[in-house]
Structure 1
Amino acid sequence: MTEYGYFLSSEEFTPAELLDQARRAEQAGFTRLAISDHFHPWNDAQGNSPFVWSMIGALSQTVTLPVTTLVTCPTVRLHPTVTAQAAATSSVLLDGRFTLGVGTGEALNEHVNGDRWPSFADRADMLDEALQVIRELFTGRLVSHRGRHYTVDNARLYTPPTQPLPIYVSGFGPNAAELAGRIGDGFVTMTPDADLVRAFHDGGGAGKPVIGGVKVCWGPDRDSAVDTVHRLWPTELLPGELAQVLPTPAHFEQASELVTREMVAEAVTCGDDPDEHTRTVRAYADAGFDEVYVGQIGPDQTAFFDAYAGNVLPALRG
């Protein structure tokens, strides 16, 4: 049975707002939480970007729900050894209710130390090697590693995970789905694409979970909700690899000039029709997803949680 979680957008909300949303999500009947890992927001209008590992520590003391990163890049901005320590501590704080979602990252977040932004093929190879290092460190044993991309010199996690810590791999095309099937314990993708789910299963992911996420904007005035999405999240509709290669929020703002209000109105679920919201989320379950995370765009969080608690989540589960 598909589980329905809430997506905490660290690009759009302050730490205090994220913690409040987590509490409300648990009260509303969402059974899981996901949180983004960004150094920058996608644009200045979003206006936030707290450190995800601090947020997860705070979440562990705020709610009882499982938490997944959607997603962390463990290859450039943070060395795999540091990611392993952060994830292990998160798992211990959450009593094993933590999943490390990883991906090959975006230049937006990973260029900040001045590193070269590699090609996708190199990033995929880096991710493969990084996960080998991270899994070795999760054992709590002393690890030394000399690889193509990373060196580890006598590193040991003295606070390793006390329970299995799954690593889910993000991807948006058939090659990435096959990579996730080969090296991941699960697959993360953001569109309800049954073909990608099959590619993941055929590539070695049979029996492993598939999780996804979708952003909506609940509100009594659909036109106003569309305006909110167009102001805050036009980046969701940028095509191709732009999201992976543009280096700054200013570049995303320039590219987003190509995204019209009409495109947003057609692509994003806006307004207060519970049936429309239910259909949007149910599409993921119909495509074979095991977990779906819904994020509310904009400030009207109270109305969203009330509507989902009273109408949408019961319809999905019914």
Structure 2
Amino acid sequence: MTKFGYTLMTEQSGPRELVDYAVAAEAVGFDFEVSSDHYSPWLTEQGHAPYAWSVLGAVAHATERVGLMTYVTCPTMRYHPAVVAQKAATLALLSDGRFTLGLGSGENLNEHTVGAGWPALETRHEMLEEAIEIIRALLAGDLVTYRGEHFAVDSSRIWDLPDEPVRIGVAVAGPRAIEQLAPLADDLIAVEPRADVVETWNATDGAPQIGAAARAIGQIPICWDPDEETARRRAHEQFRWFGGGWSVNSDLPTTAGFAAASQFTRPEDVAGSIPCGPDLDAIVEAVSAYWEAGFTDVALVQVGDEGQQRFLDEAAGPLLERLRAAAPS
């Protein structure tokens, strides 16, 4: 059965609000919750970027049932992979095993912060491959000494580990990245409903099969509001960067860059790619592209802090009912 998640958008809400939303999302019936992990918002209008791991720690204690996940953490530049492994193990313990470690190759917007430059995509994938190898070894409880092209670990061990291994999801899109990284992962992460990504993953030697051992976890923005014009305005203000696509969004380094890249984007352009307004059936139709492409899990992003609580109070429950009625069992 398709599972539906709620996104804790660290770029558009403060830490206290995010914890409150997490509790409300669990209460209304979401199956899991994912958190972005950014050092900066995409746009100045969003105005937030709290530390995701502190937020998730608080959420782990404030909730009881929902799965938790980073969507996604880059374990190569801002964070050394050995530190990511320690954080993941601790969060798995705090959540009683509800945590999945979602990993990706990063975005310039966040990773340039530490002044290490911005490597080419091929190099970032090499770094991610090494990072996953280190994280796996440490999460297995090994005493790890590692010397790679990009990372070194010296006689290190994680002392507090969960009973069950932490699942690792990896964000991939192209066939080369899937071939390189799928055999190292437990789950697929993607932000477009592409059946070819699922098919390529399942055809890759050594990759866990989606629908059996593995999940395919997608994400989609929506902007629910009782007033369609209010929703369209909010979506344009907060999410006009969204139309740039991964190839653009991963390389821009600052909010000023995203503002410049999206300066000619109109509200109707954003509304053409993000369902806006009170029509729950339109949201279900947009989400259905994911399960039709073979995804097992879909996380919803309700755009904007404004109206977030009202979405959870008024729309999320009926929306989940319609999604579960429409999705394949």
Above 0.5 in TM-score? yes
Is 1:58 the equivalent of 2:58?
yes
Output the CA distance in 1 between the equivalents of 2:62 and 2:104. 27
1:244 to partner: Cα distance: 1.1
8 Å CA contact retained: 1:178, 1:202: no
What are the equivalent positions in structure 2 for 1:61-76 lying under 5 Å apart?
Answer: 61-64=61-64, 65-76=66-77
Rate the CA distance shift 1:205–1:235 in 2: closer, same or farther, 3 A.
farther
**Pairs aligned (count):** 318
Kindly provide the amino acid, as one letter, of the partner of residue 233 in structure 2.
D
Output the CA distance in 2 between the equivalents of 1:38 and 1:195. 28
Is 1:312 the equivalent of 2:319?
yes
Output the CA distance in 2 between the equivalents of 1:199 and 1:238. 24
8 Å CA contact retained: 1:180, 1:200: no
Output the CA distance in 1 between the equivalents of 2:179 and 2:35. 24
Output the CA distance in 2 between the equivalents of 1:270 and 1:34. 22
1:252 corresponds, among 258, 266, 272, to: 258
Where 1:38 maps in the other structure, the secondary structure is coil
Output the CA distance in 2 between the equivalents of 1:41 and 1:179. 30
1:195 to partner: Cα distance: 1.4
State the partner residue of 2:81: 80
1:223 to partner: Cα distance: 1.8
8 Å CA contact retained: 1:180, 1:205: no
State the partner residue of 1:293: 299
| 4+ aligned runs moved over 3 Å, structure 1 | 177-180, 306-310
Worse overlay, 43-52 or 174-183:
174-183
State the partner residue of 1:16: 16
1:240 to partner: Cα distance: 4.9
Aligned Cα root-mean-square deviation (Å): 1.4
Output the CA distance in 2 between the equivalents of 1:266 and 1:198. 27
User: Identity rate of aligned residues, in percent?
Assistant: 41
Rate the CA distance shift 1:309–1:179 in 2: closer, same or farther, 3 A.
same
Is 1:302 the equivalent of 2:283?
no
Kindly provide the amino acid, as one letter, of the partner of residue 117 in structure 1.
W
State the partner residue of 1:211: 217
Kindly provide the amino acid, as one letter, of the partner of residue 84 in structure 2.
T
Where 2:250 maps in the other structure, the secondary structure is helix
8 Å CA contact retained: 1:274, 1:307: no
Length-normalised TM-score, structure 2: 0.93
Where 1:241 maps in the other structure, the secondary structure is helix
What are the equivalent positions in structure 2 for 1:202-241 lying under 5 Å apart?
Answer: 202-203=203-204, 204-206=207-209, 207=212, 208-241=214-247
State the partner residue of 1:137: 138
Output the CA distance in 2 between the equivalents of 1:41 and 1:196. 28
1:307 to partner: Cα distance: 4.2
What are the equivalent positions in structure 2 for 1:263-278 lying under 5 Å apart?
Answer: 263-278=269-284
State the partner residue of 2:98: 97
1:81 to partner: Cα distance: 0.7
8 Å CA contact retained: 2:129, 2:181: no
Worse overlay, 295-304 or 29-38:
295-304
8 Å CA contact retained: 1:238, 1:259: no
Output the CA distance in 2 between the equivalents of 1:134 and 1:76. 14
Where 1:270 maps in the other structure, the secondary structure is coil
1:222 to partner: Cα distance: 1.2
Output the CA distance in 1 between the equivalents of 2:99 and 2:194. 25
Where 1:294 maps in the other structure, the secondary structure is strand
8 Å CA contact retained: 2:21, 2:309: no
8 Å CA contact retained: 1:137, 1:157: yes
Identify unmatched segments of 5+ residues in structure 2: none
Worse overlay, 155-164 or 131-140:
155-164
1:305 to partner: Cα distance: 1.9
Length-normalised TM-score, structure 1: 0.96
Kindly provide the amino acid, as one letter, of the partner of residue 256 in structure 1.
S
8 Å CA contact retained: 2:192, 2:219: yes
1:302 to partner: Cα distance: 3.2
State the partner residue of 1:170: 171
Identify unmatched segments of 5+ residues in structure 1: none
